[in-house]
Amino acid sequence: MKVCTDACLFGAWVVDFLQKQQYSNPISILDIGTGTGLLSLMIAQEIDCEIDAVEIEPNAVKQAAENFTNASFHSNINIKQTDIRSWDSNKPYDYIISNPPFFENDLASPDTKKNLALHSSALSLKELTEIIDAKLKQESVAAILLPFHRKDEMIQLALERNLFLKINADIKQTSKHTSFRTFLIFSRKKQTLLSEEITIQDNRVYSDRFIELLKKYYLAF
Mean pLDDT of 44-51: 94
> What residue spans define the domains of the chain?
5-17+25-214
Tell which CATH architecture fits domain 5-17+25-214.
3-Layer(aba) Sandwich (3.40)
Whether 206 contacts 173, CB under 8 Å: no
pLDDT digits (tens, 9 = 90+) for 209-221: 999 999 999 998 8
CA geometry: angle 112, 116, 118, nearest 5 deg: 105
The string of pLDDT tens digits covering residues 94-127 is 999 999 866 444 434 445 454 444 433 568 999 9
Comparing 3 with 113, which gets the higher pLDDT? 3
Q: How far apart are CA 68 and CA 75, in angstroms?
A: 8
Helix, strand, coil share (%) of the chain residues, nearest 5:
35, 30, 35
What does the pLDDT look like over 135-178, one tens digit per residue? 999 999 999 999 999 999 999 999 999 999 999 999 999 999 99
